[in-house]
Amino acid sequence: MQTSPAIRAIRIACAFVFVLCIAGLIISSIAGNNEGWVLSIGMCGVAAAIILIVVSVVTANKRVPEFSDARAQAIEQRIAYLVESGVSEEELRELVRSSIQLGRGL
């Protein structure tokens, strides 16, 4: 999956902020456990996490497939034709269900 350079830069910047926040929390803890510093650094990490989540949600490429009545009708006609030819309707419908699950990756 190709991502745009801007999205990649945002993700790298968020990862960089995460690493800096971990280092900042460790340093502020060693330097005297000042609650103000710890909270400020923690809030920067939270902001980076929220930005990363929002960017991931907004740029998701997965789309809901559209339903086509014409294609559904064509499939039903093919099933009816095969049933008339002597194929078991229940087995045929189970084959269609399995094909749908395979297409969805289930």
Per-residue pLDDT of the chain (106 residues; tens, 9 = 90+): 567 899 999 999 999 999 999 999 899 888 887 888 889 999 999 999 999 999 988 887 776 667 778 888 888 888 888 888 888 888 888 888 888 888 777 6
Q: Is the pTM of this model over 0.85?
A: no
Distances (CA, A) of 101 to 9, 60, 63, 98, 106: 36, 22, 17, 5, 5
Q: Running DSSP on this structure, what letter comes out for residue 31?
A: T
Separation between Cα atoms, residue 74 and residue 48, nearest integer Å: 50
